[in-house]
Amino acid sequence: MRIRISRLFLLTSLVPWTMADITNRMSSFSYGPNVLQTYDVYIPQGKQDENPSCETYWLVYIHGGYYRDFSVNSTSVQPSIEVLESRNITDFNNTIEKVAGVASLNYRLSALPGVQDPSTTPENKLQTARWPDHLNDVLAALRDLNSHYPIDGQYVISGHSVGAQMAFLAALRTLNDTTIPKPVAVLGVSGIYDFPQILRTNPEYTNLTLNAINETNLGSASPAVYPGELYEKLDLKAVALQWLWRIVTMMDLCPGIKWRR
């Protein structure tokens, strides 16, 4: 009862939370020499420490942009954090209380013809990644994040579009690579899960896709082609696919997950 009262007090005594407050609370980490080999960490206001527990989890977010959109990056998660920090409990049970921390990952992008001039662009800014460089960057970011914050077995991995694709592939990689922290749940938002199928149904995506992924890798880059048994082995508490960009409603992870929309 006492906890409830103090929580209520905390909620009603909060002043409005602006985007500037959010960016001020962001810290950046670098896991490689490229300017996009970085990630941002956000610890919600009022959190005494960032250690996850039965009650709180980390949320790792991987942005989309089809490996080529320079205007989409780790900062794309900030409006979602702003919604969470508004702690608007009249909408749905706003769940920032369950979030120990948010990490938003950058990864190197592929060369989009005409966007960067390789002869004048500094090496560390040049984006010439080819699949699986993007995924390897995500894995390196997860390892680095886990070395700063103990997220192993205590985080939800999420992503939008190709970020969702990499969220699932990163989760699968934990089966074979124990240096990668294991997620407790995967959330895909409007994900790209089957490249060969997309190229069949939407041939206009062919060049865009081959701009980043060699044809021979399209299958292994597609979460949909991996057998269900591998996903079962992950022993996740939840897998969620969302098609509308609605803020992640973190769930009651103890004892089991209930996803809400």
**Binder of ligand NAG out of 12, 13, 24, 90 (CB under 6 A):** 90
Q: Rounded to an integer, what distance in angstroms lies between the CA atom of residue 199 and that of residue 2?
A: 57
CB 127 within 8 A of CB 66: no
Nearest to 80 by CA among 203, 163, 147, 151: 163
Asked if 88 is part of the footprint of ligand NAG (rule: CB under 6 A), the reply reads yes
Asked if 12 is part of the footprint of ligand NAG (rule: CB under 6 A), the reply reads no
CB atoms within 10 A of CB 123: 9
Nearest to 166 by CA among 150, 188, 140: 188
CB 44 within 8 A of CB 96: yes
Asked if 179 is part of the footprint of ligand NAG (rule: CB under 6 A), the reply reads no
- Residues 59-78 touching ligand NAG, rule: CB under 6 A, are 71, 73, 75
Asked if 175 is part of the footprint of ligand NAG (rule: CB under 6 A), the reply reads yes
- Residues 133-162 touching ligand NAG, rule: CB under 6 A, are none
Q: What are the residues whose beta carbons fall under 8 Å from the beta carbon of 25, sequence distance 6 or more?
A: 42, 43, 45
Asked if 128 is part of the footprint of ligand NAG (rule: CB under 6 A), the reply reads no
Site string for ligand NAG, 229-248 (x = CB under 6 A): -x------------------
161 is catalytic: yes
Taking the complex as a whole, the smallest distance from the CB of residue 227 to ligand NAG amounts, in Å, to 9
Nearest to 96 by CA among 151, 38, 55, 142: 55
Interface segment toward ligand NAG; rule CB under 6 A; list 54-62, 91-99, 111-119, 236-244: 91-99
Give the interface with ligand NAG as residue ranges (CB under 6 A): 35, 71, 73, 75, 86, 88, 90-93, 130, 172-173, 175-176, 207, 214, 230, 260
